Amino acid sequence: MPEVTAPIALMVDVNSGRVLYERQSHRRFVPASLTKIMTSYVAFELIAQGKLKLNQRFRMRPETFRQWNRVGSTMFLGNNSETSVADLLEGIVTVSANDGCVVLAEGIAGTVPAFTAMMNAEAKNLGLKDTHYNTPNGWMDEGATYVSAADLATLSSALITRHPDLYHRFYGHERAEFNGIQQNNHNPLYGHTEGADGVKTGFTNEAGYGLVGTVTRNGRRLMMVVGGYDRANDRAQQSRAFIEWGFAAWDSKPLFPAGAHIGEAQVQGGRERSIGLVAPHALALTLPKGANARATIAIRYKGPLKAPVVKGEPVATLVVRVPGQPDELLPLQAAETVARGGLYSRLRNGVLAMLGQ
């Protein structure tokens, strides 16, 4: 285990959900630009729902320009300029553009408070218990915006697994150019760590230096969160060593590939009486290096599920047990959408259930 002096540290194997290391992972802290992970997540959700398009253009209002022109990290948006959602997301994710965050927020929701309400609603949907957003860009707000390492790992995992195409389009870029100005991404893993493709850095005087970093090798994804460094160089050197330790000290044993059909769940009040359960991403068992044990698996859900059930919605858990190791709890998604049934469907399903069919 290398030296990690950050007051907050967490490493998770995304394929198994196993925590490989943690230090104060539920402690609330100020995220700075790590806030922008949720900003992009809200946009990705809206795009997936057809409520936002990448070619939509949003205007930089004069009031917003006066407040955010060249404040902190920026993509140098001009007064009254119009910028596409795609370019705003590139600026937010790659160069941490504070001005781009506010233009996107106002374009989507009308006002920053309305957008942060959407951010907090998504945090609730994801079960984030130690998170609250007051800004879309993480600019200093006397602690009104806060997160935890555990919540950031959950959010970032959802960002990657729910929206893989959008994630790979906008994340993992070492630099970006906008309006003829090229800027580098500050992620210390890029250019140094094989397989690094995200997620986000953060820094303010209030927060110190933080990082949510993720690396994929041979289909295995590790994610780490470190927060509260006083020096950028410590964050860079230690985070690189930390993620290498994760790959070296732990083995991953594949269980199911992404999209694999794993079981069924009963549905109540729907047009169909059951629904398939699939793996949202490659699922694996993580054990200390050299360990070898037999695993047993079981599916757990609160059932029957109540219609409507939406395709891709997390509705069940795969419980993986190995003697002497903590249980692994892996998410399973609905394989298809089951709409609420009409009167005939409900009567038919009720009769079949009474007959034990």
The residues that are catalytic are 33, 36, 96
Specify burial of residue 326 (Cβ count, 10 A radius: 0-12, 13-18, 19+): exposed
Task: In the chain, count H helices and then E strands.
Answer: 9, 17
Largest CA distance in the chain: 70
Cα gap 36→40, rounded to integer Å: 6
- In angstroms, rounded to a whole number, what is the distance separating the alpha carbons of residues 138 and 128? 17
Neighbours of 276 (CB within 10 A): 16
DSSP 146: B
What distance in Å separates the CA atoms of residue 220 and residue 20, rounded to the nearest whole number? 14
Neighbouring CB atoms inside 10 A of 50's CB total: 7
What CA–CA distance (Å, rounded) separates 26 from 195? 27
What are the structure tokens assigned to 356, written together? 């034990």
> Which class for 86: exposed (0-12), middle (13-18), buried (19 or more C-beta within 10 A)?
middle
Interacting residues of 147 by C-beta distance below 8 A, sequence separation 6+:
28, 29, 31, 34, 35, 128, 130, 131
Element housing 66 (H / E): helix 62-68
Q: Which of 187-223 are b and which e, b meaning 16 or more Cβ less than 10 Å from the residue's Cβ?
A: bbbbeebebbbbbbbbbbeebbbbbbbbbbeeebbbb
What is the residue whose two structure tokens read 């992970």?
Answer: 37
